[in-house]
Structure 1
């Protein structure tokens, strides 16, 4: 695994925003929300308070209808204006790690990144970086775009094994 992405080192990452549809994660600090159910991740480290309150994210196709109950999505769920929130916290990069199949939601987040002046790292197999029209829009905005399935770029097994060793 590489510690650098361009001029950024992994220690340069500072979370300034988080979006979620699970009502048990919304409104609490990111350091607590990451462990709220449902969560299949083994707790390998204590995470200090991040000072980042998780905001309600837009759903669109980000949660399959049969999973709404499992994700504790409230009937009155309304997502925030992602672009406005990103601007308000001075975000530089938006990392998209929605569930596979979230084509519309991914496009909504990509659009929000452009409006907010953020780079976009797409970690799921929905075409943004490799789509000519999206690529052109990010280029015209002077913003980097990367990804379209981060796991396949470095090998899912390698990522899994490296994370498991942490």
Structure 2
């Protein structure tokens, strides 16, 4: 079984946690792993995820190997895997979008290190990279407030035919219009914004949630499911379209994992 191939949008502290987590779990056994819903989801173990593309607009990250870029300033994630080898995938220049670039500048820290003189990649170029890389799932880690950029990459995911996992507070999965866009193209989407339940272990918990959500998105792809994955969105995310009791999301996600007919908006005939 091949690894799940993902594209990362925003090489941030949160995406650094994901990359640390993937490598951390590769050396663990089921009894040792914490922060995960299940060790095996859809036949995939937590370390069986591969970054095949990444996009950012910070000159401290663009052009670097992804596994080096995650350590670049201003990222400050807890390091729970001290050695992460290069993977031979460089961070690509993303799209600079008007007011969102100001958000990125504030997020980048005191000294602006954005590639201000670079026009950025076009939607067509990003879609091409996604397709050529073989990416199956896009994970959005853009900073809070980067609304135009998050929607831009959601369109790129639709154009490239890759699933979309939205770990930002920008309402995409929980927006009915966006939900219909993904349903129409039969592409899975999970969102919005991961629900970090254990702040004292935020980095590892964030990695575990992302790894579980990615594996659920892959499970949907295998099953031919599209649209909002309700069970996964309700269980993993803060911004959702449902109003459920505390117990219901856990029951839903377990049923989703074990029953392919459960908790998706649309299933291809």
Q: Shorter chain as normaliser: what TM range? A: 0.7 to 0.9
Give the secondary-structure state (helix, strand or coil) at the position aligned to 2:165: strand
CA contact (8 A) 1:62 1:98 kept: no
Q: How does 1:28-67 map to 2 (within 5 A)?
A: 28-45=64-81, 46-60=83-97, 61=100, 63-64=102-103, 67=106
- Comparing 155-164 with 102-111, greater Cα deviation is found at 155-164
Mark the CA change 1:101 to 1:29 in structure 2 (over 3 Å): closer, same or farther: same
How far 1:24 sits from its partner (Å)? Answer: 1.6
Mark the CA change 1:163 to 1:136 in structure 2 (over 3 Å): closer, same or farther: closer
**Which residue matches 2:162?**
118
CA contact (8 A) 1:18 1:54 kept: yes
Q: Which has the larger radius of gyration?
A: 2
User: Are residue 24 (structure 1) and residue 60 (structure 2) matched?
Assistant: yes
Aligned length: 163
Matches of 2:136 and 2:55, distance apart in 1: 15
Deviations 1:56-103 (A, max 9, x none): 111321542752663510221232232221111111000001001111
> What RMSD over aligned residues (CA atoms) do the two structures have, in Å?
2.5
Calculate the TM-score normalised by the size of structure 2. 0.55
CA contact (8 A) 1:59 1:79 kept: yes
Q: Identify the structure with bigger relative contact order (alpha carbons < 8 Å, sequence gap 6+).
A: 2
Of 136, 140, 153, 2:184 maps to 140
Matches of 1:161 and 1:24, distance apart in 2: 22
Mark the CA change 1:66 to 1:74 in structure 2 (over 3 Å): closer, same or farther: closer
Matches of 2:90 and 2:183, distance apart in 1: 31
Q: Which structure features the higher share of helix residues?
A: 2
How far 1:42 sits from its partner (Å)? Answer: 3.2
User: Are residue 88 (structure 1) and residue 127 (structure 2) matched?
Assistant: no
How far 1:163 sits from its partner (Å)? Answer: 4.8
Mark the runs of 5 or more structure 2 residues left unpaired by the alignment: 1-35, 207-269
Mark the runs of 5 or more structure 1 residues left unpaired by the alignment: none
**Which residue matches 2:120?**
79
Give the secondary-structure state (helix, strand or coil) at the position aligned to 2:190: strand
How far 1:3 sits from its partner (Å)? Answer: 4.1
